[in-house]
Amino acid sequence: MTKAKGKAAKPSEIDSHDVIRVQGARENNLKGVDVDIPKRRLTVFTGVSGSGKSSLVFGTIAAESQRLINETYSAYVQGFLPSVARPEVDVLEGLTTAIVVDQERMGSNSRSTVGTATDVNAMLRIVFSRLGEPSAGPPFHYSFNSPAGACPECEGTGSSTDLDLTQLYDASKSLAEGAITVPGFTVDGWKVKTYLAAEFLDGNKPIRKYTKAELQKFLHGEPTKVKVDSFNMTYEGLVTRIQKSFLSKDRDSLQPHIRAFVDRAVTTTTCPECDGTRLGKAARASKVGGITIADACSMQISDLGGWVRKIKKASVAPLLATLQRTLDSFVEIGLGYLSLDRPSGTLSGGEAQRVKMIRQLGSSLTDTTYVFDEPTTGLHPHDIQKMNELLLRLRDKNNTVLVVEHKPETIAIADHVVDLGPGAGTEGGTVCFEGTVAGLRSSDTVTGRHFDDRASLKDAVREPTGVLEVRGAGSHNLQDVDVDIPLGVLTVVTGVAGSGKSSLIHGSVAGQDDVIAVDQTAIRGSRRSNPATYTGLLEPIRKAFAKANGVKPALFSTNSEGACPNCNGVGVTYTDLAMMAGVATTCEQCEGKRFQAEVLEYTFGGKDISEVLEMPVAEAERFFGRGKAQLPAAHAILERLVDVGLGYLRLGQPLTTLSGGERQRIKLATNMGEKAGIFVLDEPTTGLHLADVEQLLGLLDRLVDAGKSVIVIEHHQAVMAHADWIIDLGPGAGHDGGKIVFEGTPADLVADGSTRTGEHLAAYVKG
């Protein structure tokens, strides 16, 4: 028997499949990037914020992988999938299936919880349907998202909402006098005109003089057609209209003034029927091992795992084994302090990313590309080692792991490093270094020079000007905490994830008068929103253009009269190609400038409005700071944007392109103009490069030196070392935390050394 002879593959052909080859990547600010990324290795992408890391990893590699996978489905199925355009790149070879684990907040739908988001609830429902006594029936009788299992009183939400009618109208006034006090209901507006046109209401009679029948129709009237100025309009009761317009929408999507109104007008209480469990009577009565499914979902996950281990039933043994592994993964990934009934919308960006990781840890897939966005976000130094071990475990299953990261502890475990820069925005977008961690350390890149930076303890700390007293704080896991937070200084609140930091500060401090809290929640807005509109910067600029040219300010807005009629002020035109990715082309009429041609004839300081919006913040700060374009109102806002390290952003850059760290800093810059005395910042180092942390510390110092009190929730040791006062919570997470374990100066914390934070800070400052 003879063996068939075959031609051996050339080594170069084999090697070509061992890398992800990128050539000519031009997404966003990338300048024709060429890079070979080794497969089945852990590659970390570094560089200052805005250098192009996400554009390369997420916008190019992961996006193209997703697009190619979508193309394997039929045209019918593709019609239901999100369309992804091909990224701007010449060559992209060697791709494998990409699983993206990012920091996008999980949906804030009130029906989404940690349990539903990870499918743990689905497994628990099966366990209770098989073993529950008395049985409530099939699994969907145990679900609060099913009519059969939900509490009929609250329909599975666990809460009931009431409207404070005094916030809706002034009973001493008539409709014609402006009785309705809801935002948007002005006397000359069509909404109020609809009420005035209703024959069954007297628009000139004070609301307090309405009969019961009139008040019922005013507040809860059924939809009815009425004629307003020859137009047919729909009348409906004020409460009904508010519920549809405001209360049925995601609170975070509402405009700030409407959100403030909703917070004033709506009171939310626990459902009295189900006591907040969301479940119907049958599900609440069914027990396994002495507890109900509602009890199981409210337990700390680390405790729930112990309860599951005690169940010994052969009939559901495979299911229990899978459930146990999933619960153990929560603990392993540092989320054992959560409960399954925790609303997913309340998770931080770092927690949300780790919850998404749960699905991947038990996966049998190999030769897959996992893409992570700063997986150490929200992690105490004590927990970063656990995260590193998980990343390495994924790699060791023959997977390619791509990580965008700033923390040196995670960069240090990389097999390969790609450093982008040298700067941010237009000054970035190139590969400055590619190689090993040792090579990065000795390189002359910004990352290499700052890799081993260590902040030192301050020689002297500021003396407080007073204290903010917190007494008996007990929200979530806090155990009746009493603490005096010093004022007039920089206070850093530390502790492992889940120790109670956010519960203490956001629960007991952030809601008070004279306090501004700046977090990392997404800035809601369309592609029309940008730093100029969000910060209020565009207002004085539009007025300056209008005054200088003797025209209306509305001409200098792409959302108003000045917009290009062809693209409606967007700058591009979109062609819908059904199941294929739509095509966006630069508007031929305005050439992407978004304004009408006649608007661009008007100038201020020698530049038209489109040229101003194309300016980076740092350039605009100089432009409006002196000379014929001097504009103090605009310059003050731009100075604050530069202060928070956003000098590279273009004034007209869509807010949808900002990272979590950039979102927080733009919100901080916006709020710095407020007159509040206390600033609360939630992990402001998120998304910051090692080189930028020093700039942040300078900003915090300037706030304190200006007479502000600054409270920072933070894990970064450089910020801890720079504090005047540290409040450390712990000692652990969940019910193992919730206590003050240390109060004092950073030097005292290092000397004490009894807490986890103290141990890591001591190791950090001693290098």
Helix (H, G, I), strand (E, B) or coil at 386: helix
Q: For 586-607, how does the pLDDT look when each residue is reduced to its tens digit (9 = 90+)?
A: 888 888 888 999 999 999 999 9
Dihedral of CA 14/20/26/31: which sign?
negative
3-state secondary structure 273-342: CCCCCCECHHHHHCEECCEEHHHHHHCEHHHHHHHHHCCCCHHHHHHHHHHHHHHHHHHHCCCCCCECCC
Residues of the chain with pLDDT under 50: 1-11, 579
Q: What does R_g of the chain's alpha carbons equal in angstroms?
A: 29
Distance between CA atoms of residues 764 and 385, nearest Å: 15
Burial of 381-416, coded b for 16+ CB within 10 Å and e otherwise, reads bbbbeebbebbeebbeeebbbbbbbbbbebbebbeb
Ordered by where they begin, the domains of the chain are 16-105+347-450 (3.40.50.300), 114-158+272-333 (1.20.1580.10), 161-270 (1.10.8.280), 466-522+706-766 (3.40.50.300), 531-657 (1.20.1580.10)
Phi/psi at 494 (5° precision)? -125, 175
> What pLDDT, on the 0 to 100 scale, is given for residue 15?
55
**pLDDT value of residue 151:** 93
* pTM of this structure: 0.80
Return contacts of 357-360, CB within 8 angstroms, 24+ apart.
357/101, 357/333, 357/390, 358/118, 358/326, 358/329, 358/330, 358/333, 359/118, 359/119, 360/99, 360/101, 360/394
- Please give the pLDDT value at position 11: 47
204: CB partners within 8 A, 6+ apart? 174, 175, 176
Residue 524: its pLDDT value, please? Answer: 64
Share of the chain above pLDDT 70, in %: 93
What residues form DSSP beta bridges with 287?
Answer: 133, 292
Give the CA dihedral 571, 576, 580, 582, nearest 10 degrees: 0
- Helix axis angle for 120-131 and 317-332, nearest 10°, is 140
Amino acid at residue number 194: T
Digit-coded pLDDT (tens) for 676-699: 899 999 888 888 888 888 888 998
Nearest to 353 by CA among 332, 378, 329: 378
Whether the CB-CB separation of 665 and 646 falls below 8 Å is answered with yes
Rounded Cα distance between 153 and 505, Å, is 34
Average pLDDT, the chain: 88
Which pLDDT score, from 0 to 100, does residue 189 have?
86
